[in-house]
Chain A
Amino acid sequence: DAGITQSPRYKITETGRQVTLMCHQTWSHSYMFWYRQDLGHGLRLIYYSAAADITDKGEVPDGYVVSRSKTENFPLTLESATRSQTSVYFCASSESHWGDEQFFGPGTRLTVL
């Protein structure tokens, strides 16, 4: 499918477990982003990537790890999940820089018990 996809769409895990959220885009966009969305906070940037093998921290990176070995994929890993990481996670991509339109995936709803 063309566009940006996320998997899984829903995930329930337990405290302390490692979980990886997947993001795939078919446009060959340079920039990719991970956000979390919590009530009252809007979208907060976790990590972003300007190109393959280039990643950088956003506003709330603690407890998360990212990698980008291929342009089209940008997985987000929670190394040891905590209840405070219960949230809806959105992946996005944009063509060339921050001022471009960001295209968002459908989101992954993660619950940490």
Chain B
Amino acid sequence: TQLLEQSPQFLSIQEGENLTVYCNSSSVFSSLQWYRQEPGEGPVLLVTVVTGGEVKKLKRLTFQFGDARKDSSLHITAAQPGDTGLYLCAGIRGGKLIFGQGTELSVKP
């Protein structure tokens, strides 16, 4: 059983559509990170959220940390083909970084 459950696992959309990726857990995390990974490369950090209820924006990407610090979401507005990739959430618990299983996003032109 994954400590961090991401949904959906796969998402295929058309350019211009909006989407939301969810990262859920029954456990509390001191902080949550979101990474993006392109094929053949390692993950790259997008954002870290620390405070319950926190919202961070990175251009067309909006990240939210749940009030209880058990869940997070990533919303992309007007998706572009360049957004294609694997999105991973990761939380710090028990002194270690735990990753979700990832959401594979494909944005078609």
Contacts and interface: CB of A to CB of B under 8 A. Distances in A.
Given A42-B88, A43-B88, A107-B40, A98 B48 contact: no
Interface in B55-106: 88, 90, 92, 95-97, 99-102
Contact of B101 (A40, A48, A58, A92): A40
Contacts of A99: 30-31, 48, 92
B101 A45 contact: no
A44 interface: yes
B34 to A, nearest CB: 11
A40 B45 CA distance: 20
A104 B95 contact: no
Given A99-B30, A104-B42, A43 B92 contact: no
Contacts of B9: 40
B28 interface: no
Interface string B1-32: 01010100100000000000000000000110
Contacts of B96: 45, 48, 58-59, 98
Given A42-B2, A42-B99, A106-B42, 11 more contacts: A40-B9, A42-B88, A43-B88, A58-B96, A59-B96, A98-B97, A101-B45, A101-B48, A104-B44, A105-B42, A107-B42
15 contacts: A40-B9, A40-B101, A42-B2, A42-B100, A42-B101, A42-B102, A44-B99, A45-B96, A98-B95, A99-B30, A99-B92, A102-B43, A104-B41, A104-B43, A106-B42
Interface of A: 35, 40-45, 48, 58-59, 90, 92, 98-99, 101-102, 104-107
